[in-house]
Amino acid sequence: MDNLKYKRVLLKLSGEALMGDRSFGIDPEIVQTIALEIADIVRDGVELAIVVGGGNIFRGINGAAKGMDRATADYIGMIATVMNALTLQDALEQLDEPVPTRVMTAIAMQEVAEPYIRRRAIRHLETKRVVIFGAGSGNPFFTTDTTAALRGAEINADVIFKATKVDGIYDSDPKKNPDAKRYQSINYAHALSQDLQVMDTTAFALCKENNIPIVVFDLGVAGNIRRAVMGESIGTYVGGSCEVN
Ligand SMILES: Nc1ncnc2c1ncn2[C@@H]1O[C@H](COP(=O)(O)OP(=O)(O)OP(=O)(O)O)[C@@H](O)[C@H]1O
Ligand SMILES: O=c1ccn([C@@H]2O[C@H](COP(=O)(O)O)[C@@H](O)[C@H]2O)c(=O)[nH]1
């Protein structure tokens, strides 16, 4: 389709957004809704890679706070993201018009999914398969936001969509400060200097270095993935030379 703003997209799906109103785990209806939205843009020709988080199941930092070894806890977190990746794969392939997918993991589990091989991932995208990256970067002490920035750079993504539970980037965490103000656009330098916690600094820094724009938007609003891919002004846009407003 000619009116797509972005052709190759790296979509970061928050794990927590998959649990809907639950306090843990996965809401199948939410996953089905996301799958339908994804199918809609893939049929229009978008080459889509997905990094899925694990916050709905396990975060390493929480395990460490309770006394676990941090690296071990992070490995559990990475395995949690594989569960989410397989759930999403299943939902995409169970649609009435199935979407072809491949899950690629950064931690080898060859009975379950392909290992991550960059050139292979790119080939899948060229053949219009949705590639779902599981197990984060494969390294403890990192996050799936950083993984999204890393994989986005590796596959030459035009943009990173961070689809989450907040409707953009605020000048402080809107869950903690009800008076926080939302930005329409900001630049990487501002995000880094203000230490905006919506994404970690490694992720912002990687996007800055590789000049990959980021769009942060609310996954809970129907049609937002399509709006983002058409370049409509939703959420917050982060780019190198953007004015802060
Ligand atoms: N300045 C800010 N603007 C917007 N959101 C912010 C800001 N600072 C912190 N946040 C918080 O960032 C979170 C968005 O990140 P998200 O929930 O997607 O986490 P994640 O770690 O990427 O995903 P997961 O749920 O898979 O762990 C929101 O919960 C929001 O409250
Ligand atoms: O590269 C990575 C990515 C993730 N982890 C661990 O997984 C969990 C879940 O990821 P979120 O980004 O929080 O959704 C994370 O808390 C880490 O424990 C990792 O170690 N390395």
Q: Looking at 23-27, 127-131, 213-217, 239-243, which range is the least confident one?
A: 239-243
Q: What 3-state DSSP class applies to 17? A: helix
- 3 CA to middle of ligand 1, Å? 30
Ligand 1: which atom is nearest the Cα of residue 53? 26
In a domain, 218, yes or no: yes
The reply to whether 171 sits in an annotated binding site is no
Q: In what order do the strands lie in the sheet with 114-115?
A: 114-115, 101-105, 130-134, 47-52, 8-13, 159-164, 214-218, 236-239, 185-187
Q: Is residue 3 in a domain?
A: no
The answer to whether 133 is annotated as binding is no
pLDDT given at position 3: 85
Q: How many A from CA of 126 to the centre of ligand 1?
A: 31
pLDDT of residue 222: 95
Distances from the Cα of 214 to the Cα of 33, 168, 194, 221, 228, angstroms: 23, 11, 17, 18, 10
State residue 132's pLDDT score.
98
Q: Is the CB of 54 under 6 A from ligand 1?
A: yes
d(CA 72, CA 83): 17
Q: What is the mean pLDDT of residues 34-42?
A: 98
Cβ(238)–Cβ(188) under 8 Å? yes
Q: Is 60 in the pocket of ligand 2 (CB under 6 A)?
A: yes
CATH number of the domain residue 226 falls in: 3.40.1160.10
Instruction: State which residues form the domain around 172.
Output: 8-239
63 CB near ligand 2 (under 6 Å): no
Using CA atoms, how far apart are residues 141 and 105, in angstroms rounded to an integer?
17
The runs of H, that is alpha helices, within the chain are 28-43, 60-65, 70-93, 118-126, 144-154, 188-193, 201-210, 224-230
The answer as to whether 207 is a domain residue is yes
Q: Is 169 in the pocket of ligand 1 (CB under 6 A)?
A: yes
Is 55 marked as binding a ligand? yes
Give the pLDDT confidence score for residue 148 in this predicted structure: 98
Average pLDDT (106-130) is 98
- The proportion of the chain whose per-residue pLDDT surpasses 70, expressed as a percent, equals 99
Q: State both tokens at 37.
A: 């939205």
How far, in Å, is the centroid of ligand 1 from the Cα of 198?
Answer: 4
Q: How many domains does the chain have?
A: 1
User: Among residues 43, 137, 139, 53, which one has the least CA distance to residue 88?
Assistant: 53
In sequence order, what are the residues at sequence separation of 6 or more whose Cβ sits closer than 8 angstroms to the Cβ of residue 170? Answer: 177, 180, 181, 182, 183, 196, 198
Cα angle at 103 between 71 and 10, to 5 degrees?
Answer: 85
Q: Is residue 245 part of a domain?
A: no
Nearest CA to ligand 2 atom 16: 59
Domain-embedded: residue 212: yes
- Evaluate whether residue 33 is within a structural domain: yes
Look at residue 1 in the predicted model and tell me its pLDDT: 64
Q: Does the pLDDT at position 2 exceed 80? A: no
pLDDT for 155 beyond 70: yes
The ipTM estimated for the assembled molecules is 0.93
1 domain residue, yes or no: no
137 annotated to a ligand binding site: yes
Q: Is 143 annotated as a binding residue?
A: yes
Q: Using one digit for the tens of pLDDT, what is the confidence trace for 168-201?
A: 999 999 999 999 999 999 999 999 999 999 999 9
| Distance, C-alpha 90 to centroid of its chain | 18
CA distances from 6 to 66, 78, 236 (A): 42, 28, 16
2 in any annotated domain: no
Instruction: Give the integer Cα–Cα distance in Å for 75 and 58.
Output: 10
